[in-house]
Amino acid sequence: MLSSPIPVTILSGFLGAGKTTLLRHLLKAEHGLKLAVIENEFSDAGIDTQLLGDAPVQVMTLANGCVCCTIHTDLTKALYLLLERLDSGEIAFDRLVIECTGLADPAPVAQTFFIDEELRERYILDGIITLVDAANADVHLAETIAQAQVGFADRLLVSKTDLVTPQAFEALSQRLTRINRRAPVHVVEHGRIDLAELLDVRGFNLNGSLSLRPVVAAASVDRISSMVLRTDKPLDIDRLSDFMNQLLEDHGRQLLRYKGVLSIAGEDRRLVFQGVLKLYGFDWDSEWAEGEARESVMVFIADGLPEARIREGFEALT
C-alpha cells in the first residue's frame, strides 16, 4: 500500500530575489523535517557547486537528513528518479521543494502534477511561493513574467526590505495585492522565515476558504491583476457551467489562478472550484451554516481580461 502523497512546494521569483538563500536555509537548518529540494542548475548561485557535474541528476543526502537534488534534465525525470530512490530506501524524504529559474513561468511546473497520472498519485501540489526583491521590484515588475510569478503565488515573500523605506514597502505590498488578492505578503530576512509560512499552505485544496486581501484603489500599471465577482443571489448551476466553459474557452491561457466559493440554487452545500490556466477542478464542500449569508465569490488572477464584458456575463447569471 502506498503512503500518503508527498506535498510539493514550488519556489518562484525573479533573479536575485533570494531563492537560493532561502533554499540554503531550508537545507541546512535543524528543523527536523525530511525535505528534498530540487535545484535548477541555472540558479544564480548554486547551493553546493561541487554537486554540479555531467550526470542529468545529482542527489546528495546532507548532514541534517535533507536531500539536495540538482537537475540537468527535465523535471519529470528528476521526480521519477527521486521516487525510485525513495522506494528503494536509498534516500528518505516526506516533503519536496522545487526551485524555478528566475525567468521561469511556474505554470508548466505546476501542471506537471496534474497531467502525469502516476506523479499525481505520489505527489500533491501544496503551494506556490514567490519571492519578490523589494529593492529591485519596480524594475522586475516591469516584466510580465515577474508579474505572472506574483499572480501564480499562494504566498508572497518580500526580501531586502531593509534596503527600502517603510513607505516603499507599503506601496509594494499594495501593488502585489492588486496583482494577487489571494496571496498574503510576508517579509523574509536573509532566507530565514517561519516554515509554517511555506509548508502546509494547501493552496490547491478544494475547500470553502477564500480570503481576499483588501485593495487600496490606485491606477494599475501592471498587465496581471485580480478580478473579483460577487453576488448574494443563488446561481443556476447549468448557466454557471456555460459561463465558466465560455470563459475558459475564450481566456483560458490568460487565467493564471482562479477560485470560487459559490451558492447554488436548491443546494445547501457550497460549490468550490479552482484552477490554473485551463486545468481546473470542482467539488461540493460543507453546508452553509444556519443564518449564514450565502454569498458567491469568484476571484480570477489573469493577464488582461476584458473585465467589463465578463462582469456583464456574470451579472446575467443572476
Residue 196 is placed in which grid cell?
Answer: 509554517
According to the model, what pLDDT value does residue 217 have?
61
CA distance 72 to 56: 5
Q: Cell 450565502 belongs to which residue?
A: 294
> Which pLDDT band, with edges at 50, 70 and 90, does 187 fall under?
very high
pLDDT, tens digit, for every residue of 138-180? 999 999 999 999 999 999 999 999 999 999 999 999 999 999 9
Whole-number Å distance between alpha carbons of 70 and 61: 12
pLDDT digit string, tens, across residues 243-292: 999 999 999 889 999 999 999 999 999 999 999 988 888 899 999 999 88
**Contact (Cβ atoms closer than 8 angstroms) between residue 11 and residue 99:** yes
Domains of the chain: 6-197 (3.40.50.300), 224-317 (3.30.1220.10)
Return the C-alpha cell found at 208. Answer: 470553502
Quote the distance between the C-alpha of residue 181 and its chain's center. 13
Decide if 153 contacts 201 (C-beta within 8 A): no
Residues in Cβ contact with 134 at an 8 Å cutoff, skipping those fewer than 6 apart: 158, 159, 160, 161, 163, 164, 168, 169, 172
Q: Report which DSSP code applies to 272.
A: E
pLDDT grade for 51, boundaries at 50, 70 and 90: very low
pLDDT in tens, 289-307: 998 889 999 999 999 889 9
What's the pTM?
0.86
Going by C-alpha positions, the residue among 197, 183, 208, 236 that lies closest to residue 297 is 208
